[in-house]
Amino acid sequence: MLKLFKRTDPIEKFWTWFKENEKRFRNFEQDPDKYLNEMLVHGKKIAEGLAIELEPPANGIINMTVSADGNRDLFETVVNIVDKAPNIEGWNFIAFRQRIPADKIKTMQLKVKGRELDPQHMKFFPMIDNDTLDIIIYVNGVTEDNYNDIAYAGLLLLDNILGEYDCVMKVRSYDFHNMPVKKEELADLLPLLEITAYVDKFHSGK
């Protein structure tokens, strides 16, 4: 006689494991890499490419962000993971990287192969095609050799500026160009710090 076995939902399995270990994870600041790597190993059993980020406790609450790392194909999975998250005292589970406050954006700096991505010194140019928005980001020192590294770091920066969901869903594509030097070319570009207001306004007008 055949026995029927119920297939375990990998998301439910992840949260069962998490609940059994969450007290250990409260000490993640002692060795962040160790604890995050442990979580990612179990997260990969749900789907490859997921990212998990932890924030230091604030008022006794640890924010844990589950991210698709910009991969649109994983967005539904991320939503399902957070929807199925258990209620655990001291934890707050968040889907997608959220926008960071404008004052903190000004202090963000990412270093990529000797180049610095500083939002205060970056610009953008919007390209509108009917109701679709594409954006070119301008950075000092972009070359053919470092393009992929700068693009990856630049998209991570935009995740934090626009919020991961809006970064992917409200802009069709991004490209990264070297900053022009001619004044007439610079005159057409907008400060990167204004990109959030621009994207919001563009979509509010639809």
What is the structure's pLDDT at 1? 46
Q: Give the structural domain span for 88.
A: 10-95
Residue 4 lies in a domain: no
Q: By percentage, how much of the chain surpasses pLDDT 90?
A: 80
pTM: 0.83
Which of 67, 95, 123 is a domain's end point? 95
Residue 184 and residue 132 share a domain: yes
**Residue in this structure with the two tokens 């002692």, named with its chain if needed:** 30
Kindly tell me if the per-residue pLDDT of 113 is higher than 80.
no
Residue 3 lies in a domain: no
Chain mean position to CA 173: 15
Which of 38, 71, 95 is a domain's end point? 95
What is the structure's pLDDT at 194? 96
What would the mean pLDDT of 23-45 be, rounded to a whole number? 96
Residue 2 lies in a domain: no
Residue 198 and residue 111 share a domain: yes
Residue 178 and residue 87 share a domain: no
What is the structure's pLDDT at 123? 97
Residue 144 and residue 77 share a domain: no
- Helices 75-83, 10-25: axis angle to 10 degrees equals 60
Which of 95, 116, 150 is a domain's end point? 95
Residue 55 and residue 110 share a domain: no
Residue 54 lies in a domain: yes
> What's the pLDDT tens digit per position in 86-107?
999 999 999 999 999 888 888 8
